[in-house]
Amino acid sequence: MENLSTNVRSKQFTISEKLEFGKKRPEHLGKVATNIFLLPHRTFPSRKEKDILSLGEMSQFQRNGKNITYWHWKNPGKQVLLIHGWNGHSGNLSRFVQPLLDLGLSVVSLDLPGHGSSEGKFCNIVLSAETIVDLVKIVGSPSLIISHSFGGAVATVAQELGVSVEKAVYISPPSRLELLREVFSKSLGLDDSVKEEMRMRMERKIHRSLDSLDLERSGKVLDSELLVIHDESDNEVPFIMGKRVARAWKKGSFFPTKGLGHQMILRSEDVIEKAVQFIAKETIEEKNLLRLNLV
């Protein structure tokens, strides 16, 4: 009997094959490039990450007919929402879970559409933010958010859509989707006409202009307090983007790191401690005060 997974993979076109097709049929290149840009590479948690996820209550809900998977660790305190980045999954931020639970906070984490255990093929910022809005209707509004990379953009649009947030930590956030699209287009050698078609196709999908997906602009009107953490050697989302987001935010602050890059930053004990201390400052102060009163 044929191996099913191998058989399925054999029917899938690689990115290079799709591009080759697009170049042979230029009238399709804009569509091909758009689909590649919006197609995440599905990854899954490690064994250690699965162990942490297993301590939460796993549930699903539907968005556009697709099952979205999320985990909920319940506690009496405020609720923290963890939002992973592009090509990621809930396990990426699992190291933040226990320190938050130890402070009595509740934690919720989801796999965005087309990521991890959630169904779907394509993903974008607006779809992801709308998925957050649906999740909030089920578990309640998060007072606090910790996000990584693309997740910071998702968190921003979710707030624009009405999700109420007091404090947020954005780790390695992009400042503007349009800048990332430009880098992507340049890497593929797309000419101006194809880039313009790509932009138009994306805007039709998300029902808003790409220029409006600007964290610097959003930060001037959103009321949440923000800490941006970004590594100087990040080779996926430029360090300057994080600095710009923090500088533009009404209540923004910035914490730079060195030598961690884009992914290892999520494993740094210093980063985890800094994020948790910021997000749970009031809770920590209350616990310290209670401890002093008991002495």
pLDDT digits over 212-224, tens only?
999 999 999 999 9
Q: Which residue has the higher pLDDT, 185 or 239?
A: 239
CA-based torsion, 61, 64, 52, 242: positive or negative: negative
One-letter identity of residue 250: K
Q: Which domain holds residue 283?
A: 38-176+213-294
Give the helix/strand (H/E) hosting 72.
strand 66-73
The residue type of 82 is: L
Are the beta carbons of 172 and 265 closer than 8 angstroms? yes
Mean pLDDT, range 72-82, rounded to an integer: 97
What does pTM read for this prediction?
A: 0.90
104 domain-assigned:
yes
Mean pLDDT of the chain, nearest integer: 90
Written as one letter, the residue type at 178 is E
Residue 32 lies in a domain: no
| Residue 1 reports pLDDT greater than 90 | no
**Cα 126 from Cα 124, distance rounded (Å):** 6
**What pLDDT score was predicted for residue 26?**
55
DSSP 118: S
The CATH number for 83's domain is 3.40.50.1820
Vertex 266: Cα angle to 148 and 146 (nearest 5): 40
Task: Say which residue, 118 or 26, is predicted with more confidence.
Answer: 118
Phi, psi (rounded to 5 degrees) for 106: -85, 150
Q: Exposed, middle or buried: residue 184 (CB in 10 Å: 0-12, 13-18, 19+)? A: middle
Sign of CA dihedral 97, 177, 142, 252: positive
Q: Is residue 16 scored above 80 in pLDDT?
A: no
**How confident is the model over 95-108, as a mean pLDDT?**
98
- Are 157 and 126 in contact, with CB atoms under 8 Å apart? yes
Q: What is the pLDDT of residues 137-163, one digit of tens each?
A: 999 999 999 999 999 999 999 999 999
Question: What's the rounded mean pLDDT across residues 227-231?
Answer: 99
Quickly state the pLDDT bin for 24 (edges 50, 70, 90): low
Q: Residue 11: inside a domain, yes or no? A: no
In this predicted structure, the answer to whether residue 22 has a pLDDT above a threshold of 80 is no
Is 125 part of a structural domain of the chain? Answer: yes
Query: Looking at the domain assignment, is residue 6 inside a domain?
Result: no
Per the structure, how many domains does the chain have? 1
Per the domain annotation, does 207 fall within a domain?
Answer: no
Q: Which helix (H) or strand (E) holds 229?
A: strand 225-231
Give the model's confidence band at 29: pLDDT under 50 very low, under 70 low, under 90 confident, else very high.
Answer: confident
Q: Kindly state whether residue 74 falls inside one of the protein's structural domains.
A: yes
Q: What is the pLDDT of residue 189?
A: 85
Residue 181, pLDDT > 50, answer yes
From residue 75, alpha-carbon distances to 27, 72, 84, 139 in Å are 54, 10, 21, 12
Residue 95: inside a domain, yes or no?
Answer: yes
Residues paired with 61 in a beta bridge: 68
